[in-house]
Chain A
Amino acid sequence: MGKRLLALLAVSTALIAVQAEAKTVIRMMHQGDPGWVSTFGEVAKRFEEANPDVDIELIYAPHDAYNEKFSAAVMAKQMPDIMELDAPFLANYVWSGYLQPIKPLIDKDILEDMTGSNIAQGTYPIDKELYAVGLTDSSVVLYGNRKYLEAIGARIPKGVDDAWTREEFEGYLEKLSKLGGVKWPIDTFRGYGIKTEWITYAYGPILQSAGCDLIDRNTWKSVGTLDSDPCVDALTMMQKWVKNGWVVPQSSGTNQFFAEGHPAALAFGGHWFYAEAAASMKDDVVVMPLPKFGPKGASPNGTWIWGITTASEHPEIAGKFVSFMLKDKELREHAKETSGYPGLKSFAADSPLYAPGGPMAVAFEQASKTAIARPPHPAYPAITSAFMGAVDEIFNGGDVKAALTAAAEKIDEDIEENDGYPPFDEQQ
């Protein structure tokens, strides 16, 4: 009885408090480094000035504990209105019922401004609806050291269409391995670790280019795809690079491309790597498209984007804030400073780094020509975890076919345990 009275009292106090303020509170969960944290804070302030009846509450979660933080919020029934999410996890979140279609909530001009790759990363394959938008996107390109490339007389591709073929690429690796001053022909950033999204993000496109995938995107079965011959062949190729000593070892850090003496000649690196490399190497950095390992080129995409949750009581206002944020000039300025990869066409035109003729123009060209999203399936956490384990095994000399078969079986097992994640099981 006393408890009930207390609860009533608490509720009525809360009601009074809300009435007194009469403000709509929009809570946004995000990650990011200090620059982003303060940028979001300033955008929120500007929005509040323009909309005095809205209060934006920012909930910061460190990058490495973001998933745990979100899970905790869901279980504690404290979901935010707006959440930042990593694109490959979108299918999992939509399937779990946490996100709502965002199209009706976002300004039309933003929707029209989105690049194909940006739309792809925010789309759920079952209903083909858009659930998240981002200002930025991401990609991986092949960086080269100009001096080394000239020394071996390598052909420098002008655009995505004349990317190196597999034969060319492996030939150059061999030549570079014999070149003086080169300790390792290529850095594939094994230094990021073996349990990072990097593995699936960056190496997945090699499989897709070679003509296979992590999982069949129609039947949603991994056995028969991840352990198929093209995949075994592609990873045997990578295992050979490692065995030959062509790849920077995992425990040699992530700086060998630009460290003193430039021990690594090529770098299979993310768009963000340009800033690190160019800081010390300036014009000696050559940016090239990812090689074609088979019939078609492939490159990764996807980054942290914004979705509106089903728990939001004011989705329109939340959408209004997301639109406001994506158009905010100073936010875009900050994204440019951190060499953000454009996900909006207007932002691309405004970024000298990615605009035609800019040093990273090739990277942006990939977005419309070769970008393939990671498997948009709710089992993605299991898919990426299994693939990471297989790659570690293979790079350390394990049997390629056996490792891939084990990973494929693990993925299918997860899907079976979840009854095929209906309605994904009907997508034949």
Chain B
Amino acid sequence: MSDLAITAMQTELTRERSAIRSLRLVQTACILVIALVIVSPLLMLVVASLKDDRFQILADMGSFRAFWVSNPTLSNFWEVGNFSGELAFGRYLLNSLFILACTVGAGLVVNSMAGFVLAWGSLRGRALVLSLVIALYVIPQESIIMPLVIMVSRAGMTDSFAVQIVPWVASPLYIFLFYQFFAQLPKELFEAAEIDGASVFRIYRSIFLPLSLPALATVSILMGIESWNQYLWPTLVTQTDYARPIAVAIATFFGQDSIYWDRAMAASVLMMLPILALYLAFQRWFVSSFVGSAVKG
């Protein structure tokens, strides 16, 4: 009887195990197929960046030749990655990094504070403010850009770093994102701290913020991409090399009559690297479940 029960349990266990194993197999297969679909278009970009003849790249477009390079060369990368001269891409790269760091740093503070108050504050009319904030996200940048140019030039802010940072620090999207993340956290957290007599700022700073690493990482990455790829705005408000970001500089390769495919592609690949590094640095914050352990502890 008991033998039977043990065997039954063992079969149950093996069945469970083999079920898990087959699930893993299916998952791995899925991930591989998706990876192929996702990554193969980008292969073309990398391949093109390794060809040194822009006319050849053009001629190869639209066929499978675009995915093959017979004699790869890094010469495009050397040509693009210079730090001096008329088009010093190194300088633009540093400009972009500086702008990104400031925008993201200030953005995390400003937007998370606002999101927190909207989620847990006691102010009346929070729901209205939240609706308004979401509504503001509707406004496309293209529709406010001209009035904004006039405003910043009256303020004498053109051709500076500040003009590329300050307007984009507060963002409806990220306030909304922080709001929904904070609102999702258990009520007990806030109430317990409140009973302990902690102030609102303190609850935000010492309890909620440390728990929201996934949200902070998300916002850092998304804001970083947004800042990195800003194009129309810096084009309109920068004049000289002083604060010009890399996205504007790369546009030189997409000329009127001809596109410098070789260097455009190499520059595009180079431009992806810092953001990729940022992402890889932050993505491990998604790995462990902070909230779970906090509630437990």
Contact = CB atoms under 8 A, between A and B. Distances in A.
**Whether chain A touches chain B in the assembled complex (some CB pair under 8 Å):** yes
Interface of A: 27, 31-34, 36-38, 40-42, 57-65, 68-69, 71-72, 75-78, 252-255, 258-260, 270, 272, 275-276, 279-280, 304, 338
Given A59-B240, A255-B58, A255-B61, 10 more contacts: A34-B87, A42-B86, A62-B254, A63-B255, A72-B146, A75-B153, A76-B150, A258-B59, A275-B55, A276-B55
Contact of A37 (B87, B236, B237, B257): B87
Nearest to A60: B252
25 contacts: A32-B255, A32-B256, A34-B263, A37-B252, A38-B86, A38-B87, A41-B86, A57-B240, A59-B239, A59-B240, A62-B235, A63-B255, A65-B232, A65-B235, A68-B232, A68-B236, A69-B236, A72-B153, A76-B153, A78-B239, A253-B62, A255-B58, A255-B61, A272-B257, A279-B55
Contacts of B56: 280
B68 to A, nearest CB: 13
Nearest to A61: B235
B251 A62 contact: yes
A37 B86 contact: yes
B67 interface: no
B253 interface: yes
A275 B55 CA distance: 9
A64 B252 CA distance: 10
A85 to B, nearest CB: 13
Contacts of A59: 239-240
Nearest to B260: A33
B63 interface: yes
Interface of B: 53, 55-56, 58-63, 65, 85-87, 146, 149-150, 153-154, 158, 231-232, 235-237, 239-240, 244, 248, 251-258, 260, 263
Nearest to A259: B59
A365 B146 CA distance: 44
A71 B86 contact: no
Contacts of A275: 55, 258
A259 B149 CA distance: 44
**10 closest cross-chain pairs (CB), A and B:** A76-B153, A33-B255, A62-B251, A38-B86, A272-B257, A279-B55, A41-B86, A72-B236, A72-B149, A65-B235
B158 A76 contact: yes
A272 B258 contact: yes
Contact of A63 (B85, B146, B256): B256
A304 B53 CA distance: 26
B58 to A, nearest CB: 5
Contacts of B258: 33, 272, 275-276, 338
A64 B247 CA distance: 13
A64 B244 CA distance: 17
A201 to B, nearest CB: 11
Contacts of B153: 72, 75-78
A78 B146 CA distance: 14
Contact of B58 (A61, A75, A276, A304): A276
A260 B53 CA distance: 15
B251 to A, nearest CB: 4
Contacts of A37: 86-87, 252
A76 B149 contact: yes
A60 B62 CA distance: 32
B254 A280 contact: no
Nearest to A57: B240
Nearest to A196: B256
A280 B236 contact: no
Contacts of A42: 86
A62 B236 CA distance: 10
Contacts of A338: 257-258
A37 to B, nearest CB: 6
